[in-house]
Amino acid sequence: MKMDKMIEEHINHIKDIRGYFLTDKKLINFIRFRPGNQDIDVIKEKVMAVANHDKADYFIRCGFQNNIKKLQIDSSLGQGELLIAVSVAQNGNNSIDYENIEFASRYCAVHCPAYFPLWNSHSLKIAEAFSQSCFSPDDYLEYGAVVKEMKSKHNLAPLNYFDISKFFWIYQEDLIRYYTWN
């Protein structure tokens, strides 16, 4: 019961400080003022903004902007269809690697932060501890379902997935301990 109280305190703390996550807020606002994914130059600009700085050129060279345009993702984004993140990550291939699903989940999440769980190392550790299973990049749909279940279980509804990712990052040791003991 002591751990439950600690987790509840951590959740309340994140809810109180979420306004300080300015980088995420700026990125979400940047994307909001560039609606749609039909214009290749706008998509390219978004890809470069969303990608980790050292990988932006990689995603452009690999043609992710062309894949995004071809997929016509706007409707799927608006409906929160996690499968669209998988399609973006595949980039016309059958397989997905870690960096591609990390980018694709982030690209989708900046458009609809309440629908798309972010795939990153700390969120992955927490989801694996919670579910007592391991996820590969091909398992984004299952991973997303687990993160959504955690969001519901802990009443994290007011938080978007950028906030939840920060929650996982800041409190990952406590959360892993909590989930492995319960």
List the chain domain ranges.
Answer: 2-25+117-181, 29-111
Q: What is the mean pLDDT of residues 128-137?
A: 97
Buried (b) or exposed (e) across 114-146, using 16+ Cβ within 10 A? ebbbbbbebbbbbbbbbbeeebebbbbeebbeb
Rounded Cα distance, 40 and 1, in Å: 53
Q: What is the pLDDT of residues 144-167, one digit of tens each?
A: 999 999 999 988 888 899 999 999
What pLDDT shows up at residue 13?
A: 86
Q: What is the pLDDT of residues 93-127, one digit of tens each?
A: 999 999 999 999 999 999 999 999 999 999 999 99
Lowest mean pLDDT among 5-14, 112-121, 164-173: 5-14
DSSP 81: -
Lowest mean pLDDT among 22-26, 48-52, 67-71: 22-26
Q: What is the mean pLDDT of residues 56-73?
A: 97
What pLDDT shows up at residue 3?
A: 65
pTM score, whole prediction = 0.93
Q: What is the mean pLDDT of residues 51-68?
A: 94
